[in-house]
Every structure is written in C-alpha cells, then in structure tokens.
Amino acid sequence: MQKDAKIYIAGHNGMVGSAIWRILQSKGYTNLIGKSSKELDLKNQQAVLDFMATEKPDIIIDAAARVGGILANNDYPYQFLMENMLIQNNLIDASLKNNIDKFIFLGSSCIYPKFAPQPLKEEYLLTDTLEPTNEWYAVAKITGVKACQAIRKQFSKDYVSLMPTNLYGTHDNFDLNTSHVLPAMIRKFHEAKENGNTPVTLWGSGTPMREFLFVDDMAEGVIFALENTLPEYLYNIGTGEDLTIKHLAETIQKITGHTGEIIWDSTKPDGTPRKLMDVSKMHDLGWKHKVNLEAGIQKTYDWFLENIDSLKKITI
C-alpha cells in the first residue's frame, strides 16, 4: 500500500473513524480525506456519487453509521434501519460505479443470531433469528455485508467486511440516552462518585457475557485489512475474551473510584445472553489485539475526564 494512496474515511469524526485517521497518520499515510455530515450527507445518493466522481479516492473505509445502545435501538427502529442502509448503500454503490477496487465495510457483532453457538463464527451469519432489541441495526449491517460480498463475487473487487465486537475508547459517546453500556457505566459511576458515592442503578441482571475491544485495536485491524488482501469476505474483530456485565461494572467502579452501591434493575432487558467472537481467522492471518480491558478503560476514563466539560449533559 502506497503511503500517498487517497483514502476516504467515511465517519472520520466518530470514535472509530477518528481512531483509524490517527493511526493512519502515525503510520505515515499522507492523503486522507474526511467530510463532516454537514459537508457531505451520506444519506443523499447524488451527493455521494458527485463526491466520489470529483475526489476519486483509491480506497474507501466505511466507519459511518447511526449507532446506539438498547434504548436507542428500541426507540428509533426505523431510523436505525433506514439511515444505516442509506449511508452504506450509497457508499458501496458509488464505489462500484467509480471503479474503486478496495472497500472496507465496518459492521457489528449484532449481525449474528441471538442464540448462535459461542464463540461466534463468521459462518453463523443468517443461520437463525436476531436479537429483537437491535435487529433493525443488524439487518442494515447484514445488507452491507452481503452487498460487499456480491461485488466481490461478481466483479472480483477487494471489498471486505470487518465485524467488531463491542467497541469503546477515546471519543466515545457518553450521552446516557444513546450510548453503549461501557461508556454509560463510566459516566454513571463518575457522576455518582461526584454526588457523594450515591447508588448506581444498572439495567438487567448483570449476568450476560460481553466482549470489549479498545477502539485503537479496531483501527489497527482496519489498517491490517487495508495493507493486506484478505482471502475471504467477512472477518470478526475482537479479543476472543469476555466477562459478565457485573464484572465489567465492578471494574469500572474501581477505576472511577466510586464506592457506593450497585443496584441491578431486573425489569430492564439483558439483551443477548452472550456475545463472544471467534477471532481465529484474523489471528491466523497475523492480527491480534494489544490493549487489555483494564488499561483500555483507564485510557477511556482519562479521556472522559479531560473532555468532560464539552460532553453533553443529558442524563436519564
């Protein structure tokens, strides 16, 4: 891969996109393109086609998506389905029409069936029903995976899909109405500590198992796919290790310094019982994560503290 290759990162201001941008720059890549949503509406097909025809990038990395946790997915099913399909389909189709040979599509582990065997293998895609609380987002991402697979099959282009496990890290979303579990816990425990170590109420039973990957490790996985021609169309990106939500909460409580009570609200949904990724395919090719969970949470909490004044003040 030439260091001056023109690389367009869709969603470059988001947690994942900004990590990819930082690490590409640190590795000497000099020709990166990023457009804010105000500069380029990825839901507008003609705007995306015009952008591709004008800029003529060599490579597309699609890190753009409407994302959120269980609450947001439940409350806005249509937006999670339609907006994600519009964004990815416009990018994929415009890439094909402009003869772009390399496209990296980022999805989510939620594409796999709710009760699929653990750990989740790539071949489990479309073998059973999805988790109802995030099926809208999952269906959208599945269509993106299949579109890239179809282009790979029909036009022999290097379009590959990477499915990360639960991501967290610097530049995460800490808005309690729309964030995922790990950043939401960081904010809840921090605010409870600041309020005199008041009790923290968390959703569910605490028993589901989850896997978490620091966003810089995800970015390294994307760059591995960028710099190599991967032989298959779909790869899991994760640590291959998981823990209970209860253990996660206790870890975050310790790092933030909160000493109050944790209350589990069992009237709220747990979601999928377990989601552990089988990452053996990427390991066999030579990629592996580097940041362990406690170190990653500490880095994330440090960033949260440094940026707390600029973060949204919305709370549940």
Q: How far is CA 7 from CA 57, 61, 223, 232, 290, in A?
A: 6, 7, 11, 22, 25
Residue 281 lies in a domain: yes
pTM of the predicted model as reported, rounded to 2 decimal places: 0.91
pLDDT at 315: 42
The residue segments making up the domain with residue 32 are 7-310
Let me know: does 263 contact 186? Beta carbons within 8 Å.
no
22 is in an annotated binding site: no
Distance from C-alpha of 270 to C-alpha of 203, rounded to nearest angstrom:
7
128 is in an annotated binding site: no
Residue 2 lies in a domain: no
125 is in an annotated binding site: no
What's 63-130 look like in SS3? CCCCCCCHHHHHHCHHHHHHHHHHHHHHHHHHHHHCCCCEEEEECCHHHCCCCCCCCECHHHCCCCCC
Per-residue pLDDT of 148-205, as tens digits, reads: 999 999 999 999 999 999 999 999 989 887 778 999 999 999 999 999 999 999 999 9
Residue 122 lies in a domain: yes
Token pair recorded at residue 205: 């039973």
Q: What is the CATH number of the domain that holds 99?
A: 3.40.50.720
Query: What residues contact residue 153 under an 8 Å CB cut-off, 6+ apart?
Result: none
Let me know: does 59 contact 100? Beta carbons within 8 Å.
yes
283 is in an annotated binding site: no
pLDDT at 69: 67
User: Residue 137 catalytic?
Assistant: yes
Residue 94 lies in a domain: yes
Q: How far is CA 236 from CA 161, 241, 273, 278, in A?
A: 9, 13, 19, 7
pLDDT at 202: 96
pLDDT at 48: 98
Residue 315 lies in a domain: no
Token pair recorded at residue 250: 């206790």
| Strand-strand pairing, 243-244 and 209-210 | antiparallel
Residue 1 lies in a domain: no
pLDDT at 312: 55
Q: What is the DSSP letter of 172?
A: -
> Which one of the listed residues 8, 29, 112, 137 is annotated catalytic?
137
| Tally of domains in the chain | 1
pLDDT at 111: 95
pLDDT at 218: 97
Distance from C-alpha of 111 to C-alpha of 96, rounded to nearest angstrom:
24
258 is in an annotated binding site: no
pLDDT at 230: 97
Instruction: Pick out the chain residues at pLDDT < 70.
Output: 68-70, 312-316
Let me know: does 241 contact 282? Beta carbons within 8 Å.
no
Residue 276 lies in a domain: yes
Residue 168 lies in a domain: yes
